[in-house]
Structure 1
Amino acid sequence: MPAADPATDLVLVEHQGPVAVVTINRPAKYNAISPAVVTALDAALGALGADPRVRAIILTGAGKAFAAGADISFYAQADREEFTAFTGRCNALCDRIATSPVPVVAAVRGLALGGGFELVLSCDVVVAEQGAAFGLPEVSLGLLPGWGGTQRLTWHVGPNRAKWLIMSGERLDATTAEALGIVTHICDTDALLPVALRVADALAAQSPRRPSPRFERP
Structure 2
Amino acid sequence: MGVSTSSPEKGISVVTVDFPPVNALPVDGWFALADAVRAAGRDTGVRCVVLIARGRGFNAGVDVKEIQAHGRQALVGANRGCFEAFAAVYECEVPVVAAVQGFCLGGGVGLVGNADVIVASEDATFGLPELDRGALGAATHLARLVPQHLMRALYYTSRRATAAELHAHGSVWQVVPRAELHTAALRLAGEIAAKDGELIRLAKAAINGIDPVDVRRSYRFEQGFTFEASVSGVADRVRGTFGNKGEEGRG
TM-score between both structures, scaled by the size of structure 1: 0.88
Which runs of 5 or more structure 2 residues have no equivalent in the other structure? Answer: 213-251
Alignment match of 2:177 (pick from 188, 193, 196): 188
Post-superposition offset of 1:207: 2.6
Counterpart check, 1:66 vs 2:58: yes
Match for residue 35 of structure 1 among 18, 22, 27 = 27
User: Which amino acid is 1:129 matched to?
Assistant: S
Q: Is 1:125 aligned with 2:117?
A: yes
Over the residues paired in the alignment, what is the CA RMSD in angstroms? 1.5
Where 2:58 maps in the other structure, the secondary structure is coil
1:37-186, aligned counterparts within 5 Å?
Answer: 37-145=29-137, 149-186=138-175
3-state SS of 2:145 partner: helix
Task: For residues 91-124 of structure 1, give each alpha carbon's deviation from its aligned partner in whole angstroms, at most 9, with x where no partner exists.
Answer: 1210110111111000011111111121111110
Aligned to 1:13: 5
Alignment match, 2:240: none
- State the identity as a percent: 31
Q: For residues 119-151 of structure 1, give each alpha carbon's deviation from its aligned partner in whole angstroms, at most 9, with x where no partner exists.
A: 111110000010111110011123212xxx212
**Greater share of residues in helix:** 2
- Compute the displacement of 1:18 (Å): 1.1
Per-residue deviation, residues 179-200 of structure 1 (Å, max 9, x unmatched): 1222111111110111000000
Q: Any stretches of 5+ residues in structure 1 without a counterpart?
A: 1-8
Which segments of structure 1 move beyond 4 Å, counting only runs of 4 or more? none
Alpha-carbon distance in structure 2 between the residues aligned to 1:151 and 1:117: 10
- Structure number with larger C-alpha Rg: 2
Which string of whole-angstrom CA distances, capped at 9 and with x for unpartnered residues, describes residues 5-31 of structure 1? xxxx401211022111111011x3211
TM-score (norm 2): 0.77
Give the residue type in structure 1 aligned to 2:14: V
Residue number in structure 2 paired with 1:217? 211
On the 8 A contact 1:65/1:110 being kept in 2, the answer is yes
Structure 2: which amino acid aligns with 1:25?
Answer: D
Matches of 1:113 and 1:155 in 2, distance apart? Answer: 15
> How many residues are paired up?
206
SS at match of 1:144: coil
Cα deviation, 1:153-174, whole Å, max 9, x if unaligned, reads: 2233232211111111111111
